[in-house]
Amino acid sequence: MVETKQWRADPLTAGLENDPQIKAAAQCLIEGEVIAFPTETVYGLGGNAKSRDPIRKIYEAKGRPSDNPLIVHIATPEQVREICTEINPIAKKLMDTFWPGPLTLVLPSRGEVSDAVTAGLSTVAVRMPSHPVARALIRTANLPIAAPSANRSGHPSPTKAEHVLHDLDGRIAGIIDGGETGVGVESTVVDCTTTPVTILRPGGISREQLIDAIGPVADDPAMTRPDQTPKAPGMKYKHYAPEAVMYLVPGGGERIQGLVAHEKNNGRRVGVLTTEENENGYPLADVVLTCGRRGELESVAHSLFAVLRDFDSKKVDVIYSETFPEKGIGKAIMNRLSKAAAGRLID
């Protein structure tokens, strides 16, 4: 166990690179420690991408398998050229359109980052976060920062500093509290070494947005094939899972009500994940938690991981979740829900 320091940084403050809290956190990174920090998607657990020892500490803190690659976070376009051998025209277009923001690009690696980051692949996943605290931290440390989500492996990703503390207190050197994150689901990961480019993980940038920017895109079949070596995080192992057994129920409504009644007859404590529109539609459930508004899927993405964590505090035995249209950010929402439910779908 180590002492986990806590720093606070207001993302609205000007000149964050001069903030003593940011400088102290950056110094930890320079010294080879790992710390948690906010991005616009979720909190990340960062370490020097060029050094094997910090990457080992990330894997150990998370309890994460070492064949799952990490995303390298950078603050300037110049840093991409330092760690990648090629930026083709499509990748350049994506960078110009969506960076800084929740889009990760898989590009040929120059070998500058540790092979522990790439999981032995010839490619490296890179993104430029838009969160002011994240970018100030990277600039101040003057290092590319490898960072998966700052949670224990398999748990819902953290969107608040308190989530990180719950999972990793005593396991990491520190946490920068920059408030609640915005997008709520992780970045979209796109492989730019294929033609057309391939979506490896749906996330904060939708398929439709990608097509508008660059034309046709493909979906990687490895998203549903755990036997393959992943090129991106979140593709191989069970993720985002609450402690209770979870099921997805297309249609919701009366179908969920019947399932709730059956479970309660068997003495189980039952939770339902719904939206504000249907909050009063499940009177038989022990716990009903709302995850944003169905008519505004961005609000569902924003709240999703926090709600999954909240179910753990409610001590339910089983959770039934409504499903969502797989358009726009709904694709990322359903990807995360499917993984949280370990693929359990009552259809």
Residues making up the binding site? 41, 64, 68, 73, 123, 127, 147, 149, 157, 187, 201, 240
Q: Is the CA virtual torsion 71, 72, 76, 77 positive or negative?
A: negative
- State the greatest distance between any 2 C-alpha atoms of the chain, in Å, as a whole number: 61
Which H or E element spans position 24? helix 20-30
DSSP SS3 for 255: helix
The alpha helices in 131-188, defined as continuous H runs, are: 132-141, 161-168
Q: Quick one: tokens of 274?
A: 């719904």
Compute CA 105 distance to the chain's CA centroid, rounded to the nearest angstrom. Answer: 15
Binding residues for ATP: 64, 123, 149, 157, 201, 240
Residue whose C-alpha is closest to residue 286's, from 255, 318, 250:
318
Residue type, 328: G
Binding residues for L-threonine: 41, 68, 73, 127, 147, 187
Residue type, 257: Q
Do the beta carbons of residue 17 and residue 29 sit within 8 Å?
no
The alpha helices in 215-347, defined as continuous H runs, are: 253-265, 297-314, 330-340
Which H or E element spans position 208? helix 207-214
Residue whose C-alpha is closest to residue 246's, from 302, 287, 278, 280:
287
SS3 sequence of 73-94: ECCCHHHHHHHECCCCHHHHHH
Rounded Cα gap, residues 321 and 292, in angstroms: 13
Do the beta carbons of residue 72 and residue 125 sit within 8 Å?
yes
